[in-house]
């Protein structure tokens, strides 16, 4: 039985860009994903119920549950930053020049 050839390519560092999203949307998705991950980690590491964590972050439990299920399109960057700030977390940004794009 033969197996198909496998090609491995180095990623760009942004899975959304690698999946073909346009550069601007890929950056937004990556940032929101990172903030959502921080909220998931906060909830998992705390000894709080989702209800209590949601109240602390200024959202309802069903809204927090949507986040925990990965509903990325339901949350803006502003909303995620606000949730983290209300939970006592500090969000830091780092801006750097993007690598030159390869010509198509």
Per-residue confidence at 28, pLDDT binned at 50, 70, 90?
A: very high
E strand residue ranges, 29-103:
none
pLDDT for 2-16, tens place per residue?
A: 667 888 878 788 888
Interior/surface letters 8-30, b for 16+ CB within 10 angstroms, e for the rest: eeeeeebebbeeebeeeebebbb
pLDDT per position as a tens digit, 56-83: 999 999 999 999 999 999 999 999 999 9
pLDDT at residue 63 in the model:
98
The pLDDT of residue 103 is 61
CATH class name, domain 21-86: mainly alpha
């Amino acid at each position: 039985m033969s197996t198909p050839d496998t090609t491995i390519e180095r990623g760009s560092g942004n899975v959304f860009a690698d999946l073909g999203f346009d550069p601007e949307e890929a950056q937004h998705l990556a940032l929101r994903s990172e903030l959502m991950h921080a909220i998931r980690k906060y909830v998992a590491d705390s000894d709080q119920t989702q209800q209590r964590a949601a109240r602390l972050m200024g959202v309802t439990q069903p809204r927090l549950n949507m986040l925990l299920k990965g509903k990325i399109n339901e949350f803006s960057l502003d909303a995620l930053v606000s949730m983290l700030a209300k939970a006592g977390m500090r969000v830091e940004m780092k801006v750097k020049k993007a690598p030159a794009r390869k010509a198509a």
